[in-house]
Amino acid sequence: MSKIVVIAKIPCQPGKRDEAAAGLQPMLDHVENEEGTLEYLLLKDSTDEDVLWMYEVYADQASFDAHAGSEAMKSLGHALGGVLAGRPELIFTTPVGGKGL
């Protein structure tokens, strides 16, 4: 099985990035016990004050599917309503090589 890496660009309303990050905290807490979620990092963009990034690594497709269908994920829409400037852009990748694989 191949690992899956998801990179998500999360556009925030002007001045709402910290509020969006706080709204994502329950998901960060949830993945601590989510089997198959190997890495889950929330990052602030260094050049755009209104953008967050997520870097996510899953053991396989089933692990990603379980994460995407979790109750914690379903509740994010309510938590982030009014602070996002649009839908997150998801980029799905498959690791080829490098340190940490």
* pLDDT score at 81: 87
pLDDT for position 44? 99
CATH topology of domain 4-93: Alpha-Beta Plaits (3.30.70)
* Cα angle value 14/68/55 (rounded, 5°): 55
pLDDT digits (tens, 9 = 90+) for 23-75: 999 999 999 999 999 999 999 999 999 999 999 999 999 999 999 999 999 99
What is the model's pLDDT at position 77?
A: 82
- Quick check: 89 pLDDT over 70? yes
| The one-letter amino acid at 91 | I
Sorted by where each begins, the domain ranges of the chain are 4-93
The model's pTM is 0.92
Query: What is the predicted pLDDT for the residue at 79?
Result: 83
When pLDDT is averaged across residues 9-13 and rounded to a whole number, the result is 98
Judge whether residue 1 has pLDDT over 70: no
The length of the chain, given as a count of residues: 101
